[in-house]
Amino acid sequence: MKIASFNINGINRRLGNLIDWLEAAEPDIVCLQELKAAQEAFPSEAIGEAGYRAVWKGQKTWNGVAILARDADPVVTRDRLPGDAADAQSRYMEAAVGGVLCASIYLPNGNPQPGPKFDYKLAWHERLRRHATTLKKTGAPVVLAGDYNVAPTDIDIYPTKSYVDNALVQPESRAAFKKLLGKSWTDALRQKYPDERVYTFWDYKRMRWPRDAGLRLDHFLLSPPAAGRLADAGVDRDVRGRDGASDHAPVWIRLR
């Protein structure tokens, strides 16, 4: 089973890129983030013609998450992260597909920091940690996939001082990610590439893509039953270099 995560950064604007990648990569499950489309504006017909059935939680202009499954119907178990009834941002969707429970996650960016956006980021992270513990206790193979908006360590960002004040690399952000991982969850990409600089995001500014000035912001966290089935993991870097590309590249894992 091949599971992918892709911050598409505007699904309708980049629909052609998405369809081309789906046809070439043939993932079984896809977790999308940053749809930037209202619920009724999701391109379900085009996705269906590509062979995928979808569930999604849209939001006009910002956010938005979806889960696609090839020749299968994702069974939604949650379309919002528990813990804050007042939180109306579309950042979390969870569905069962083929015996695996997958979550598509778009964690808050948190900039500028310090400030209310950073506080929201850390609070959201803690809500996710608590819910992840609940999911782990089910004993099911769980995959928490998405854009976490954190570069967990210095090896997850190109050598630079330009991000020193950015929420993506703050000690509090990194500590929250480390706490989420704990001793139970496996960081799939880091498991596969323990000592390599593996990037998933390259900002549009300052020629960062041509310079390979990237960050690893997109992660797969696997519960023990899922981690025991991990066969491979990678990043489809070439997708980032295409015309009109998202600033993220698709990330994927294979489970036995």
List, for residues 103-134, the tens digit of each pLDDT value.
999 999 999 999 999 999 999 999 999 999 99
- Catalytic residue list contains 147: yes
DSSP the chain: -EEEEEE-SSTTTTHHHHHHHHHHH--SEEEEE---S-GGG--HHHHHHTTEEEEEE--SSS--EEEEEETS--EEEESS-TT-TT-----EEEEEETTEEEEEEE-----SSSSHHHHHHHHHHHHHHHHHHHHHTTTS-EEEEEE-----SGGGB-S-STTTT-GGG-HHHHHHHHHHHTTT-EEHHHHHSTTS----B--SGGGTTTTT--B--EEEEE-HHHHTTEEEEEE-GGGGGSTT--SB--EEEEE-
| CATH number of the structural domain spanning residue 154 | 3.60.10.10
Q: Provide the residue-wise pLDDT of the chain in tens; the chain has 256 residues.
A: 999 999 999 999 999 999 999 999 999 999 999 999 999 999 999 999 999 999 999 999 999 999 999 999 999 999 999 999 999 999 999 999 999 999 999 999 999 999 999 999 999 999 999 999 999 999 999 999 999 999 999 999 999 999 999 999 999 999 999 999 999 999 999 999 999 999 999 999 999 999 999 999 999 999 999 999 999 999 999 999 999 999 999 999 999 9
Catalytic-labelled residue, pool 28, 52, 92, 147: 147
Domain containing residue 132: 2-255
Find the catalytic residue in 92, 106, 148, 158: 106
The domain tally of the chain equals: 1
